[in-house]
Chain A
Amino acid sequence: MKSKLNLDPKVIDSARSCAGRIAESMQIFIDRHTTVSTERTVLRLLGVDGVDDVDTPLPNVVVDAIKDGGGLPRGAAYWIGNAMIQTGLDPQAIAEKMAAGELDIMKLTMASKEDAEAKILPIVNKALEKIKAQTAKREDYLATIGEGRKPYLYVIVATGNIYEDVVQAQAAARQGADIIAVIRTTAQSLLDYVPYGPTTEGFGGTYATQENFRLMRKALDEVGEEVGRYIRLCNYSSGLCMPEIAAMGAIERLDVMLNDALYGILFRDINMQRTLIDQYFSRVIIGYCGTIFNSGEDNYLTTDDAYEAAHTVLASQFINEQFAVLANIKEEQMGLGHAFEMDPDLENGFLYELAQAIMAREIFPKAPLKYMPPTKYMTGNIFKGHIQDALFNMIAVWSGQSLQLLGMLTEAIHTPHLQDRMLSIENAKYIFNNARAIGEEVEYKQDGIMQKRAQFVLAEAEKLLHEIEAEGLFSTIEKGKFGGVKRPKDGGKGLAGVCVKDDSYFNPFIPFMLGGEK
């Protein structure tokens, strides 16, 4: 299809292949390392769950013991496989005995890597079957009760209490929402463990726990059957427990997960080495279970300027796309992010924003792009805010966005009230319906404001990608090229949880999840 913005395919190809080389060079680093959270994820997939008598999750109990015993470079799968051989117990029973202080798996006779691998294979297969059954159930729902039209209406709930979230989520679905995201409690991203069980206390959101995922999934399936539309569930595979939450999400059938190492580095000060390694396994899981991942480029525009920094968003989208390719994620699962954050006082800001949104759609034609609403310039004037959200909705339907995180007129005041969500859904439905085919009808003036804007942003992104390739991704982040935020390679949180793999390391899930390619 010819570009309506007259974008040069050669520039797009050059940017994309440059991003591919950046991702591949990072992958060499990733493949040499593992992390505590990656290993806890292996344990969770092997069925280890629950907490000890001081509420430490059992995956942490086991991985901490392995780490303290100097065994992390070999990976949790070896130690569990070996413990199964030596004790005859299953992984959960091993973890429970370790928590009770009755078993030290680091002091057992050591079997060969091959024997340990063979021993856990049946459990690995069982875990994969369980995930596949959830993926099949999603497909079955989509085939029978169907889904909403794109752009999907995506709303958040954030009461702090999972039971209250369920009430709000079901109400939102009845009003027309297609995706419910349960916002996490403030600072969960910095916990190096995943809390356990249903939770009713949180600040600005609700803890991501496996039980909370299960409760919300059940509620959305119920209301989905009632309204005749599959309701997708979204949570956050991000922070220090990135891959663990991806695994929990795969098991509990989450449909969308926010997942972006760059976001964690820049905005949560998570160590870049740690989170890029974590991101890899999380994306392999996401690719395997058919979840859409959302990247966090939209956030750059809350700290940097939407007009001046637009090319950093595009450059990051290219890199996120290539990281996803390496994790075997299909383009249809790549929810690359961007945001409507132009200063409302900027003359022709709407045209620039429209040009950038159409540019993203043309460059990533099959990706379910995630489009984020205005936040930075929301003022508390709810009436103007409702108009800002309307302009955002207009661009979304015009440029064919896929996942529309609905703006709330009360943004900058409070987490959404029931009526805020209703009004924003009404706003989006009105505009999407009323302007449905506008994107197909309209073309743009040759060398006009919009064409020139998109061409300029693409050219700048391609230039930045070549700079990053020359400089290396770590160094680029250290210099503050994304979001205007600088982070040191050895700084931030979580570096202590990183180690170099030894020669006998194995992660039994990655080869199967990649389909035997790697």
Chain B
Amino acid sequence: MGSHTTHSACETTTVDLTNVKPYGDTMNDGMMQLSFTLPVPYGEEANEAAKILARKMGLDEPAVVFSKDMVGFTYFVLYGKCQHTVDYSTIKVTKVEVDVMDRLECEKYITENIKRPVVIVGACSGTDAHTVGIDAIMNMKGFHEHFGLERYHGIEAVNMGSQVPNEVLIAKAIEVNADAILVSQIVTQKDVHIANLTNLAELMEAEGIRDKVILICGGPRISHELAQELGYDAGFGAHTYAEDVASFILTEIVKRKMV
């Protein structure tokens, strides 16, 4: 195996996209760093257990470079060489397909193509009390120098805040004749967000407004693929700013002839 062949890892410096391995400092060295805890007492046996586990995970030559006694538990930092490869060339990921416009472009797009105010209602619905995500997208101030939707001329943004029951969110959307609903979910313990997001989509179907409103979810554990599985038009994960969401909504309004 690896350690006995002195030149195999050095044979190529170009990546083979059909057989991709982790990169440490040499192409195809497979180097990975892990840190984890085992519920066993600190000692030689614990280190051995960590190495056996690493081999089962497909890591060759596992090395425990650090371990720490946590009284009945042991923490490890471990390196190993991954034996597995992935075929990168055949990967397909579902993404939100939209040309992102900045705030001024969005405003111009509304003036030229929609010619009326766009209404967007947002909330952390269900039991979720963490508004940091919805605030970053909606509030005037935005996040990291990216202004929120409230700042956009031509967009009426209604941020309902935290722990809004889905029924209340829908009632508000109907009341203000919303073009889009944004729902933020931060807490994902025990998949509480899945149940809540599903409930919202079902309630909108029941109210007969699902087709009339662009339904979007967001949060650090949300992907576009998950959102689509749950019956949403789009899902936005971490590193999303207001312009990403606005661009999707505005182009969708035009695409669906909701102008």
Contacts and interface: CB of A to CB of B under 8 A. Distances in A.
B163 A160 contact: no
Interface stretch (B49-57, B65-73, B99-107, B110-118): B65-73
Contacts of B132: 302-303, 375-376
A267 B161 CA distance: 9
A380 B220 contact: yes
Contact of B72 (A160, A171, A268, A484): A171
Interface residues of A, number: 33
A418 B70 contact: yes
Contacts of B141: 304-305, 484
A417 B75 CA distance: 11
B163 A269 contact: yes
A331 interface: no
B199 interface: no
14 contacts: A175-B70, A187-B127, A189-B129, A267-B162, A268-B163, A269-B161, A303-B131, A303-B132, A303-B139, A380-B220, A380-B238, A412-B220, A414-B189, A485-B161
The 4 closest A-B pairs by CB, nearest first: A187-B127, A186-B127, A174-B71, A419-B37
Contacts of B220: 380, 412-413
B135 A186 contact: no
A198 interface: no
Interface string A402-424: 00000000001111011100100
A186 B128 contact: yes
B4 interface: no
A303 B135 contact: yes
B129 A171 contact: no
Interface in B180-204: 187, 189-190, 192
Q: Interface residues of B toward A: which range?
A: 20 to 34
B72 A422 contact: no
A422 B162 contact: no
- Give the dominant DSSP class at A's interface: loop
Interface string A479-491: 0000011000000
A18 to B, nearest CB: 28
A413 B187 CA distance: 10
Nearest to B129: A186
Contacts of A215: none
A304 B143 CA distance: 10
A305 B132 CA distance: 12
Contacts of A204: 187, 189
B139 A484 contact: yes
B71 A171 contact: yes
Given A343-B144, A422-B68, A203 B37 contact: no
A244 to B, nearest CB: 20
User: Which interface residue of B73, B128, B189 has the most chain A CB atoms within 10 A?
Assistant: B189
Contacts of B129: 186-187, 189, 267-268
A269 B124 CA distance: 13
Interface string A263-278: 0000111000000000
A412 B162 CA distance: 17
B224 to A, nearest CB: 18
Interface in B200-237: 220
